[in-house]
Amino acid sequence: MLAVLAPGQGAQKPGMLTDWLDLPGAESFFRWAGAIADADLLTLGTSGDAEAIKDTAVTQPLVVAMSLFVARELGGLPGPVSHTPHAGRDVVIAGHSVGELTAAALAGVLSVEAAIALTAVRGRAMAAACAQTPTGMSAVLGGDPDEVLAAIDKHGLTPANMNGAGQIVAAGALEGLEALKADPPAKARIMPLSVAGAFHTEYMASARAELEGLIGGLAPADPSRLLLSNADGHGVSTGAETLARLVSQVTSPVRFDACLATMRELGVTAVLELPPAGALAGLAKREWKGAGIEVLALTTPGDLDRARELIDAERGRAEAQHLPDWRVVVSPVRGTVQPAEVAEGSRLPAGTPLGSIRSRREEVNVSAGYDGVLAEWLVHDGDLVDAGDPIARLYPEVSE
């Protein structure tokens, strides 16, 4: 399985568009994206200095537009990505913070225009929220996770990003961040981040309210591939749920650690991080150290050939194993799962019971929708699942 990661704000660098403008159609794409975002993204991404690209209002659409452009170069914009193995069914998409809007476009939930426009509104609204109260963010690197969380709480801060690989980002009032830096948890290092304010906290409430007033005018499609949410690392099953989560994440912590855990459980074998790349690839490499998963950060156009080779290798891997298209059986409701006693590798006729989901109000049975082979269980007895969360993976029977 191939994972595609879309970075968020903080991944930007001065001049990050310059090398990519040699690709056909690049300049016109960024002029068009800038017109949608009401910002000069082309100038910002080529000659903008570090202070200019720190501006939340314009940096967010710049990051999303850059990721979407390079995805197009790989053949994946918008909707199902034709170049991925098995017409997109062997791919999982995850974004970090504003990168979730990129991911939503890659999964076919939003059009490119809608993703860029919504990102621009989000960026301006969050910039306005930042201007109301001086706040900030600091990365806490290392230390015992429980001790780190306790120290963050002690200073009145919020764990805004749980990134995995020993990285938690604290957010809140500047005096609280200074106190945390002066009194760090044992074996932890505090690194102040160059951001405009405390993203993913209640300080962004006004931005969330503004977005809530807009999403009713959008007509999202359901995801065409497995799309993971920063809220909990679970798959999102509908377009409406995707939009609701995009709004709520403005004031909610980013659980990228949960996304990484889900990818590992799904059996991801290769990862591509879209530009401006590096941060998420680094997290994945540290979190999965020794797992044999290739992680490629697309940092220059020179990386496109390797990305295509990696995509072809993933396709070849699936074909060599004679694996047909697989499908994920998902939970129809929120509740506690009780899997059936069916062994992985079992051949199942359509209608075979796969277990039940027990909620406070009802018990819903789940069954195989077609003849197939149970490739793997994705849950254990007693696990709590949301509607749309994957339960099991099945391969349809192949006719000889």
**Residues annotated as part of the active site:** 97, 200
H-run or E-run covering 28: helix 26-37
Q: Strands (DSSP E) along 44-157, which ranges?
A: 91-95, 135-142
CA distance linking residue 382 with residue 358, whole number of Å: 10
**DSSP characters over 197-265:** S-TTSGGGHHHHHHHHTTGGG--PPPPSSEEB-TTTS-B---HHHHHHHHHHTTSS-B-HHHHHHHHHH
Which residues contact residue 321 at a Cβ distance below 8 angstroms, ignoring those fewer than 6 apart? Answer: none
Give me 372's structure tokens.
């197939």
Report the C-alpha gap between 312 and 324 in whole angstroms.
16
Residue 182 near residue 154 (C-beta atoms within 8 A): no
Work out whether the CA dihedral 349, 222, 82, 277 comes out positive or negative: negative
